[in-house]
Amino acid sequence: MEGKKLELAEIAEGQSPADNTRLLVPFNDEKGVMRFSVKMENLVYIEAADNYVNIHYLNQGKMARFLLRNSLKNLEDELKGTDVVRCHRKFMVNCDKVRVIRREKDGVSLEMDIPETMNIPVTKTYMESIMQAFTGFSRNA
């Protein structure tokens, strides 16, 4: 399993965001055992739920989710260097799937490219990292 983690990091560091869309992202549980993998281009967002995370992804054009026992913090570390960025204590998003960044009276939210998905909130804590991700993302596009 260590080889898979290194391979993901090496591929993510050496490729542009456009190349990352073909990357198969492995998701390990809290013990490091791979339980699920999805193409980066199909990953939409990840949502924390206590000691679990819901991985929201596209499966044959429809939204699906996979429940995994792991923390968002662990996944944040594993997905460093990819287009998946933390934006809230409960959420990480695939920057490639964000259609609009919207400032509203109660804060900032991300409108996703998939119609049936909710808008994802962005908190002040993660605002700078989100803006950096999108600034870098738009330069590479």
Domain ranges of the chain: 2-140
Residues 109-118 pLDDT 10s: 999 999 889 9
Distance of alpha carbon 78 from alpha carbon 25, whole angstroms: 10
Q: What is the pTM of this model?
A: 0.80
> For the chain, what is the mean pLDDT?
85
Q: Is the distance from CB of 96 to CB of 87 less than 8 angstroms?
A: no
Name the CATH topology of 2-140.
Answer: OB fold (Dihydrolipoamide Acetyltransferase, E2P) (2.40.50)
Residues 6-26 pLDDT 10s: 444 444 444 444 454 468 999
Rounded to an integer, the average pLDDT of 26-53 is: 96
Q: Which residues pair with 108 in a beta bridge?
A: 103, 122
Q: Which amino acid is at 33?
A: V
Q: Is the distance from CB of 120 to CB of 107 less than 8 angstroms?
A: no
